[in-house]
Amino acid sequence: MASDTATPLRPGFADPTLNAQQVFRRLLEAMAQPGTLSELDCPLEPPRPLAPATAAAALTLFDGDTRVWLDGQARSPEVETFLRFHCGCPLVADPKAADFAICLAWPQDFGTFAWGEAAYPDRSATLIVQVERLEEGPGLRLSGPGIRETAEVAVSPCPADLAPRWAAMRAEFPLGLDLILTAGRRFCGLPRSLTIAEA
């Protein structure tokens, strides 16, 4: 792309205050009741390749106080302009320094992000992982806080070795990462407290 071409800027929330409040409640539901899918309920047309749910989570949670890392697929002038303008968040090159990450592909290694410290496990990254499809039903079997017994959610794509990788991270609890999965307008929370098995 020619460097002197102005990068087009997509609009953010129509009502920044109320839309952020609505989206936060959806994110809170997703995180507090993993496996229950929640759905974005305000209009949003973010820059490609961000899904509306991904962009909505970013607009709700990112600002000048959060360092954000974008994976290779998410990194584009349009996305960066969108985040810089609407969120004012610093974009960082080192995933270890990030409070949030937008991953359009599943990260190969959860260990490249900060898992927090023993005294401050909250000083850890939250990954927004965008996938193609999220459905309630057979796929991953989730159990833990927020779930009465077990919940099932179908995620695609999903790495074949997610369950053992997650288990390895879960063994380090309370250290770990929290994931917000997004697809289209849907959210699914995967907090670190979960146990994940393949259903």
Contact footprint for another protein (CB under 8 A): 15-18, 20-22, 24-25, 27-28, 31-33, 60-66, 99, 117-122, 124, 126, 144-148, 173-174, 178, 191-193
- Is the Cβ of residue 76 or residue 92 nearer to another protein in the bound state? 92
If you search the block for the tokens 């749910």, which residue do you land on? 53
CB of 161 to another protein, least distance (A): 22
Question: CA-to-CA distance for 7 and 16, rounded, in angstroms?
Answer: 22
Residues 6+ apart with CB under 8 A from 198: 139, 140, 141, 163
CB of 102 to another protein, least distance (A): 15
Structure token digits, residue 52: 């509306």
- Is the Cβ of residue 76 or residue 162 nearer to another protein in the bound state? 162
CB of 193 to another protein, least distance (A): 6
- 10 Å CB burial of residue 188 (0-12, 13-18, 19+) is buried
Question: CA-to-CA distance for 191 and 144, rounded, in angstroms?
Answer: 10
With CA atoms as reference, report the closest residue to 81 among 43, 112, 55.
55
- Is the Cβ of residue 28 or residue 167 nearer to another protein in the bound state? 28
Structure token digits, residue 181: 């999965």
- Is the Cβ of residue 71 or residue 178 nearer to another protein in the bound state? 178
- Is the Cβ of residue 76 or residue 81 nearer to another protein in the bound state? 81
CB of 48 to another protein, least distance (A): 25
With CA atoms as reference, report the closest residue to 34 among 171, 124, 139.
139
CB of 31 to another protein, least distance (A): 5
